Chains A and B, each alone.
Chain A
Amino acid sequence: MKSRSLKDTIVSYLFCAPAYLIFTIFIFVPIIWSFILSFTDYSLLTFGKPEFVGLANYIELFKDPVFLRAVLNTIYYSILYVPTTLVIGFIFALMLNDDFPGRNFFRLSMFIPVVVPMVVASIVWMLILSAHPTSLANRLLGLFGIPPKGWLTDPKLAMLSVAMVMVWKTFGYKMLLYLAAMQSIPYELYESAELDGATGWKKTIYITIPLLKPTTFFLVVTSVIDSFQIFTPIYIMTGGGPGYATTTLVNYLYEKGFKEFEMGYASAISYVLFLMLIILTFIQKKGFGSEEIF
C-alpha cells in the first residue's frame, strides 16, 4: 500500500513535470534573469558578463522625462479603457442574457472581435480612423456636420482612439464572463425580489451587480494588467506618436531594449511596471473587500 502510494506520487509528479519544466524555463528563469539584468548595463549583443551598475538604471529612470510621460500615458490609457470595456461588456451581457430570437447570433457577433488577430484589427482600424476626410470614421462624422478628425494623428485624440479600438476588441470577452456568471445566479433570488415588488432595474442593482462581484473583481484585475501591458495596437497604429502622445511603458521598454540596445534599462522599466501592477492589484483587492458572497 505504502509503495503504491509512493508510486502514485511519483507518477503525479511526472505528469506535472512538463508543465513545471516549461514554466521554469520560459517564465520563471526569464523573470529572475531580467531582474538581475535590471542592475546591469547590458545589450542583447553584448558578449561576456553584463556590467553591474547597481541601482543606476532605476535612478536614471526617475530622471527620464520620457519614462515619466510613458507612465502617465499608461495610466491615462488604463482609465479610458478599463471602465469602458467592463461597462460595455456588462451591458451586452445583461441584454443577451434574456431569451429572444437570434440571441446566439448576437452573442457570437459580439465575441468575433476577440478572436480577430490584434495586428489585423489594428490595420483595419487604422484605415477606418484615417485622418483623411474620406475615411469611414470621418464620413460618419460628416453625416452630422462634424468636420474630419485626426483620430490617430491628433495628440489629444490618439490615445482615446487606441482605447476605443481596444474596447471594441475585448468587450466580448468581458461579456462572455459576465454572461456565464449571470447564469449561475439562482433564479429564486429574482423570484423572491419580484414578490417583494422589485422592478427589472432594481433587480439588476440589488441582485445581479452584487452577485457578480467576484467576476467584476477578476475582470478589473486582469483588465488593469492588460491595459498596463498595451503594446501591439500602439506599435502598429501610432508608433507611440505623435511626439510621445501614445508612448506607453511597454512601447518605451521595447524602444530602449530592442532599438537602442539598453536591455538593462529596459529590464528596470519592466520591474517598475511589475511593481506598479502588484500595488494596483493589492489596492483593488482591498477596494473590493472579500470575494465571498454566498
Chain B
Amino acid sequence: MRRIILVFVIFLLAITALQAKQITFWFAGGDPKTDLPLVKKYIEEFEKATGIKVKFVVIPWAEDPHTKIQVAIASGKAPDLIKLGSPFEHVLAKFGVLEPLDKYIPEDVLKKFIPSVLEESRYHANSPRYLKGKLISIPYFTDVRTILYRKDIFQERGVPDPIDWTWDDFVKYAKKLTFDRDGDGKIDVYGFGTSARYRSQWIVFSWQAGGRILDENDRPVVNSKEFLEGAEFFWKLFNEYRVVQPGAINVHLWDVRKLLAEGKVAMYVDCGDSAKVLKEELGEKLGVGLLPKHPVTGKRTAFSGADAFVIPRQSRYKEEAAKLLLWLIEKDRMLEYCKVSGFLPARVDAAQDPFFKEDPIKAMYLKQLEDSRGWIKHPEASFISRTLGVAMQDALTGKKSIKDAFEQAQKEIEKYLRKKGYIK
C-alpha cells in the first residue's frame, strides 16, 4: 500500500513539474490606471493561448527597477523576460548577462521595426565578444522629448506656435512669455520651464550645435566648441535672458509639468506620456511644438528614448519568454498599448496607423522623432552622465564658468575611461 502511495505521489509531482512551466516577467514602470491593465489582459490571453503561466511583476520607476534587476541577476534569480528603460540593457550586456535575441525573433518581424530605433538595440562594444553586433533587446515603444506649451498664454502674448523656429526666435519668444500679468512687480509666468537636474533638458542644445559627448573612438569631446556653444545657450537662458522659472537648477520634471498646468510656465520639454496627462487636464489649451533649430546647423535634435525587452542569460525558459515577447510586440497589441500609454510604437506599421498621423499631438511627436538622438550607449554612461550633470549645475550656480566646468568634466571623463581601459 505504501509503495502504491509513494509511486502515486511521485507521479503527481512529475506531472506537476512538467506542467508548471511558469515564466517570470518583470515590467519596469507603467501606469496602474492606463497601460498596466492592458498588459495584464495580454498576458491572460497569452496564458490561454499557449498554456504557459506568467508571473507578472510590476516595478514602478519610483522603486528603481534597474537596481532590482541587478540584485536579481546577482542572486541568480533573474526573471525570464524584462521590460526596462533603454540604454540600461547596454550596461547589462557589458557584464554578459543578456541573451542575444537574433535567433528568437524572425527576420520578417525585425523588418517591421523603425530601423533607427531597432539599431539602438544592437550591441557595438568589443566586450563581451559573443554579443558584438547582436540584438540585445527589442524595443517596445519609443519616445521623444519635445516642446509642450500653453496655447492660451502664447495667444495672450501674441507669440506664434513653436513649430518652425530658431534659437533666436526661442529667446525672443521666451522673453516675451516671461511677464508680470497682474502688475504687482513680480513675474507671474516664465517663458521656459526646465530643470538642469536632467541631462536630457540641455544636452539637446549641444547636439543641435553639432557637439557630441564621445567621438567615434569613444573619447570624450565635451570641451569642443560646438558642445560648449549648446551648453552656454542653456546657461544663458538662466543667467542672461532670465526666462526660466526659479529653482530650475535642480527641480523634478513633474514639478515643471505642474507649473505648466498651473499656467506658471508657458512651455517646457517633455515626453508623450506627459502630453497625454496634460491634455486631459488642459484640453485645447495644450499645444505640442518642435524644438527650435540651431541657426547654422539647422538641427532641432531632440532627446529620444525607448523601453525595451531583454531576456537574461540566466533564464531557464528563454523560448517561452521569447514567445511572450513576440506576443506583446505583435502589431495590434503594440498599437493599442501605445494608444493607451501615450508613447510612440517602435514598429513602422503601428506608427503608420491613422491614430498617430491624424492626432496633432502624436503627429508632432512623430515629426520630432525624425531628428532625435538617444543617450550614449557606453558601459560607463552613468559616470559620464553624473559628471556632465554636475558640470552644468556648477556653472549655473556660478561656481565655475561654462568653459571651466566642462574642461574639468572632459578631464575627469578622460581619466576615468583611461583607468577603466576604454581609451589609451
Contact = CB atoms under 8 A, between A and B. Distances in A.
B70 A133 contact: no
Contacts of A126: 252, 255
A239 B73 contact: no
A150 B73 contact: no
B251 A153 contact: yes
A131 B251 contact: yes
A241 interface: yes
A243 B399 contact: yes
Interface string B182-213: 00001000000000110000000000000000
Contact of A44 (B74, B197, B382): B74
Q: Can you list the 9 inter-chain pairs with the closest CB atoms, starting with the nearest?
A: A131-B247, A45-B95, A44-B74, A242-B393, A153-B247, A131-B246, A259-B382, A153-B250, A242-B250
A260 B383 contact: yes
Interface string B378-408: 0010110010011001101101000000000
Interface in B63-109: 64, 67, 70-71, 73-74, 91-92, 95-97
Interface string B235-249: 000000000011111
A45 B246 contact: no
Contacts of A132: 245-247, 259, 264
A150 B70 CA distance: 36
B414 to A, nearest CB: 15
Given A46-B95, A47-B95, A261-B382, 16 more contacts: A45-B74, A47-B96, A126-B255, A131-B246, A131-B247, A132-B245, A132-B247, A134-B264, A150-B249, A153-B248, A153-B250, A155-B397, A239-B197, A241-B249, A242-B394, A261-B95
Range of interface residues on A (Cβ < 8 Å): 20 to 34
A155 B394 CA distance: 9
21 contacts: A44-B70, A44-B71, A45-B92, A46-B95, A126-B252, A130-B247, A132-B246, A132-B247, A134-B264, A152-B251, A153-B247, A153-B251, A241-B197, A241-B249, A242-B397, A243-B397, A258-B64, A259-B382, A260-B382, A260-B383, A261-B382
Contacts of B71: 44
Nearest to A258: B67
B95 A43 contact: yes
A120 to B, nearest CB: 12
A45 B383 CA distance: 17
A70 to B, nearest CB: 12
Contacts of B248: 153
B196 A242 contact: yes
Contacts of A150: 246-247, 249
Contacts of B64: 258
A58 interface: no
A278 B282 CA distance: 56
- Interface SS of A by simple majority: loop
A134 B245 CA distance: 12
B95 A152 contact: no
A242 B399 CA distance: 11
Contacts of B382: 259-261
Interface in A218-269: 238-239, 241-245, 255, 258-261
B61 to A, nearest CB: 13
A148 interface: yes
Interface string A37-67: 0000001111100000000000000000000
Contacts of B255: 126, 130
Q: Which of B250, B252, B259, B383 has the most CB of A within 10 A?
A: B250
Nearest to B190: A132
B249 A259 contact: no
Nearest to B71: A44
B390 A243 contact: yes
A64 to B, nearest CB: 11
A245 B64 CA distance: 23
A194 B217 CA distance: 83
B402 to A, nearest CB: 14
B246 A133 contact: yes
A82 to B, nearest CB: 25
Contacts of B393: 241-243
B246 A241 contact: no
